[in-house]
Each structure stands twice: as C-alpha cells, then as structure tokens.
C-alpha cells in the first residue's frame, strides 16, 4: 500500500511512489494540493501536524523533495523557486572570503552569479577549461567549493566526476576543519541518466524546469545532499531567504517526475538517432553527443551514465556559418525554435545568437561555441518524425 522505506526499490518504482503515499484520511492515491499558508496548532508552538507555515515547509514541497532525494540516491532534498535560486543559495552559504573553482563553460546564469553577484559578498571564483588537469594547482587555503556541470552546455563535453571528487578528497585529508565540497549541476541528464552523488559529489543541483518537471510549464530548482551538515546549512537558508516554490508548482513537478524514466529514456534514444543521422550528413561539420562512441570522453560516459545513454541534448556545427544555423532552426517543423530544454517537445536554438549571446565571440569560441553551432533538445515525439524533420531542415540550408 505504501512503499517500504527500508527496502531498496529501483528507479521507476521510486519515481512513481517516493514521497507520494496515499492520503491517510481520504485514501486519495494522488496527494491533494495543499494551498494553506498556515497550519493550526493545538497549543502555543504545538502544531496539530508536521507543519506550521508554508515557507518553512508544506506537504507538496516535502513530497517532491523526498521524491528527488530518492531518485538521486541522497538523504535530503531541498526545493527552490528556480534552478538559479538553488545555485544562489549554495553560493550564499559560503563564508565571506571563500574561493570557488568552476568549469569554464558552466550554465550562463551560474557564470553570471559567480562573476557578478558572489563577488559582491567576497566570494571569488576561478574558471578553468580543463578542470581535470588544473584543479589540484588551483586549490587555495580559502577554496571551499568546486562546481561542475556534466555534460556541459552547449558543447556536451563530459567531466569525470569521480576523478574530480578524488582530487578533492586528497586535498581534504589535510584540511579536515574546512573541507572543500563538490557540487554537480545534473540538469542536462536528469537523475535517470546520471547520479553524481554516487560518483563522489557532495551536492547535486537541478533546474527542475528542464527534465524533472519535463513539461515546460514550471520554473523550479532542487538540491540533494547526503550530508547532514550541508543539509542543515541549506535548510536554514531555504527558510531565511524564502526562494521557495509554490505548493502548486511542487505538485506539478512531482507529477512530472513520476514519468521521468520513460521520458529520459525516449529522449535519449531519439537523440541518439538524430546524432547518428547528423554524423553522416554532408551539411554538418561536427556533432557533439555523449552517446556517440566517437565522443572524446565516451569511456567516462560508459562509467557515469546509466546504460551509456547520451541524454536528450545534441549540438552540431553546420556548413554555411551563422546564416545556415539560423536557416536550419527556421526550417524545422517538429522542433520549435526556442530556448530551454528537457521538455516533452523538441526544441532547437543557435547558442551564439541566443543562450550564449552575452559572451564575447572570442570567449565563446574558446569553448567551441561557434556561430554555426545549433543546439537541439530532443523531445519524446516519434523517432522517425524527429529524424526526418532534422534531415529536411538540413536540406533547406
Ligand atoms: C536552466 C538551467 C539552470 C537555471 O535554472 P532556472 O530554473 O532557469 O533558474 C541552471 N543550470 C542549467 C544547466 C540549466 O540548464
């Protein structure tokens, strides 16, 4: 009737049932949306149930947090009003004067927070384009956080999480009083394809807006950790800062995550088909996709991704420059030209002109974001239709 928390269930069972017990009073199989902002008390400071005030905790957010913690194999989940709020909160938890190290091609909003907000409260960040080789030499006495995203956006380069975690573990041997912690932004793959905590990360974050909610109708974020200490710090700030999701959004995102395994598997299979079709097209210069055996980090993909799945994101360079990239995106019929990713519908965009337009051309090209690069978020439509759509759009350029 209710899943047994002492038993280890597989992903699909957890996706459907974790954090989602039937209602003990009505028997409702799906939780009600609990809109009340406040909860009755039977005496001063003696709440009737588990809740007092909805910013601090509410039943829908709780259920969602439990579900994502279970799917990431972590102990604690914390939900936020956006992925950016989750990022901001983690950086805000660092002491003044702290140092952070981040991969260079991190999500634009995260880069902006590091370089334009965190600095204003004394947190300095070093960006590196080869974290694997440079991390050890970049660590300083005041370093307290390492931030990675794998695969990266939009060039889909893969970072070996266990390798980075091991360097940090070694460094922490001599700094037990002030350990460095590792954060992995797992938005691009979702918990179905990759579980960073299992590879040594301390915190995993997601923009729930993408795969976890998966229906392009909620903006939300989540962080998961197994450390009680990090959890206490973040839980305190979650309430103090108040960047929390509404009960309705929590309920929608929880409903979305119940089909995550089906969506992530289908998107990944569709993206694999698209990537394979792009590789053999004479209109294409290069294809970035972690599911291709020719991907430079395919050995890491095999260790790090479930069933070596490549995920739903593909990027590729077309012949004919910016104009051809734009023409491709205007010629698709199934793919919608739009920013964002991870929804049921296929999307395409030109990063240099859209999501990455704020970065100088020189900086962009250093991480492989050329004007002719197209990024696809492959959805869960029919695989033949998707491949045909890509092929017919290539014919138009
Ligand atoms: C979208 C995104 C974010 C930010 O999340 P929001 O929900 O838009 O605030 C962070 N990281 C990655 C990788 C993203 O794609």
**Which tens digits make up the pLDDT trace of 309-344?**
999 999 999 999 999 999 999 999 999 999 999 999
**Ligand 1 pocket mutation, candidates 113, 117, 187, criterion most atoms within 8 A of CB:** 187
**Which tens digits make up the pLDDT trace of 160-200?**
999 999 999 999 999 988 999 999 999 999 999 999 999 99
Given this model, what pLDDT does residue 294 score?
98
- Ligand 1 atom nearest 85 alpha carbon: 9
**Ligand 1 pocket mutation, candidates 209, 212, 244, 347, criterion most atoms within 8 A of CB:** 209
The answer to whether the beta carbons of residues 45 and 34 sit under 8 Å apart is no
State the distance from the centre of ligand 1 to the C-alpha of 37, rounded, in angstroms: 27
CA–CA distances in Å: residue 390 to residues 216, 269, 283, 287, 371: 22, 15, 11, 13, 19
Residue nearest to atom 2 of ligand 1 (CA): 207
The answer to whether the beta carbons of residues 190 and 264 sit under 8 Å apart is yes
Rounded (10°) angle between helices 247-257 and 59-71: 30
State the distance from the centre of ligand 1 to the C-alpha of 82, rounded, in angstroms: 8
Using CB distances shorter than 6 Å, the residues near ligand 1 are 82-84, 107, 109-110, 149, 153, 185, 187-188, 207, 209-210, 219, 221
DSSP secondary structure of 49-102: SS-SBTTT--HHHHHHHHHHHHHTT-SEEEEESSHHHHHHHHHHTSPTT-EEEE
- Ligand 1 atom nearest 341 alpha carbon: 15
What structural domains does the chain harbor? 11-257 (3.40.640.10), 260-394 (3.90.1150.10)
Given this model, what pLDDT does residue 8 score?
85
**Which tens digits make up the pLDDT trace of 96-150?**
999 999 999 899 899 999 999 999 999 999 999 999 999 999 999 999 999 999 9
pLDDT above 80 for 243: yes
Residues 6+ apart with CB under 8 A from 114: 91, 100, 102, 106, 123, 125, 127, 147
Given this model, what pLDDT does residue 366 score?
86
Give the residue numbers marked as catalytic.
55, 107, 185, 210
Residues 6+ apart with CB under 8 A from 358: 108, 112
Residue range 211-220: average pLDDT? 98
Contacts 24+ apart (CB under 8 A), 150-153: 150/184, 150/188, 150/189, 150/194, 150/196, 150/304, 151/188, 151/189, 151/290, 151/311, 151/313, 152/103, 152/105, 152/106, 152/188, 152/367, 153/105, 153/107, 153/188, 153/313, 153/355, 153/375
State the distance from the centre of ligand 1 to the C-alpha of 237, rounded, in angstroms: 20
Confidence band, pLDDT 50/70/90 cuts, at residue 359: confident
pLDDT above 70 for 385: yes
Residues 6+ apart with CB under 8 A from 137: none
**Considering all CA atoms of the chain, what is the largest pairwise distance in Å, rounded to the nearest integer?**
74
The secondary element (H helix, E strand) that includes residue 363 is helix 361-366
* CA pseudo-torsion sign 246, 56, 198, 132: positive
Residues 6+ apart with CB under 8 A from 133: none
pLDDT above 80 for 240: yes
**Ligand 1 pocket mutation, candidates 80, 84, 158, criterion most atoms within 8 A of CB:** 84
**Which tens digits make up the pLDDT trace of 254-287?**
999 999 999 999 999 999 999 999 999 999 999 9
First-to-last C-alpha distance (Å) of the chain: 56
Quick check: pTM over 0.85? Answer: yes
pLDDT above 80 for 56: yes
pLDDT above 60 for 64: yes
State the distance from the centre of ligand 1 to the C-alpha of 83, rounded, in angstroms: 5
Question: 3-class SS at 252?
Answer: helix
Given this model, what pLDDT does residue 1 score?
53
Residue whose C-alpha is closest to residue 33's, from 23, 45, 46: 23
């Amino acid at each position: 009737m209710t899943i047994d928390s002492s038993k280890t269930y597989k992903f699909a069972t957890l996706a459907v049932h974790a954090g989602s017990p039937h209602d003990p009073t009505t028997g409702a199989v799906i939780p009600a949306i609990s809109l009340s902002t406040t909860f009755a008390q039977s005496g001063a400071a003696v709440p009737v149930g588990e809740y007092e005030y909805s910013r601090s905790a509410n039943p829908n957010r709780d259920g969602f947090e439990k579900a994502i913690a279970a799917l990431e194999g972590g102990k604690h989940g914390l939900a936020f009003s956006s992925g950016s709020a989750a990022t901001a909160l983690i950086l805000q938890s660092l002491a003044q004067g702290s140092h952070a190290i981040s991969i260079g091609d991190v999500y634009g909003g995260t880069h902006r927070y590091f370089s334009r907000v965190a600095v204003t409260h004394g947190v300095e960040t070093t960006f590196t384009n080869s974290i694997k080789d440079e991390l050890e030499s970049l660590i300083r006495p005041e370093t307290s956080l390492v931030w990675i995203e794998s695969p990266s956006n939009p060039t889909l380069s893969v970072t070996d999480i266990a390798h980075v975690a091991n360097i940090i573990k070694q460094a922490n041997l001599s700094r037990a009083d002030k350990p460095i912690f590792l954060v992995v932004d797992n938005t691009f793959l979702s918990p179905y394809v990759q579980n960073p905590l299992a590879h040594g990360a301390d915190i995993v974050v997601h923009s729930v807006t993408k795969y976890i909610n998966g229906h392009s109708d909620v903006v939300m974020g989540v962080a998961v950790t197994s450390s009680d200490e990090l959890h206490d710090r973040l839980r305190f700030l979650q309430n103090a800062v108040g960047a929390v999701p509404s009960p309705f959004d929590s309920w929608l995102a929880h409903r979305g995550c119940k089909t995550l395994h089906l969506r992530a598997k289908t998107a990944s299979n569709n993206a694999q088909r698209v990537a394979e079709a792009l590789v053999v097209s004479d209109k294409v210069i290069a294809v970035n996709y972690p599911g291709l055996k020719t991907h430079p980090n395919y050995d890491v993909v095999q260790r790090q991704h479930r069933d070596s799945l490549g995920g739903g994101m593909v990027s590729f360079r077309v012949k004919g420059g910016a104009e051809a990239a734009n023409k491709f995106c205007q010629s698709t019929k199934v793919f919608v030209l739009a920013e964002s990713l991870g929804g049921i519908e296929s999307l395409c965009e030109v990063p240099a002109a859209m999501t990455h337009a704020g970065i100088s051309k020189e900086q962009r090209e250093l991480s492989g974001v050329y004007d002719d690069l197209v990024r696809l978020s492959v959805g869960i439509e029919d695989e033949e239709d998707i491949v045909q759509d890509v092929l017919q759009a290539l014919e138009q350029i």
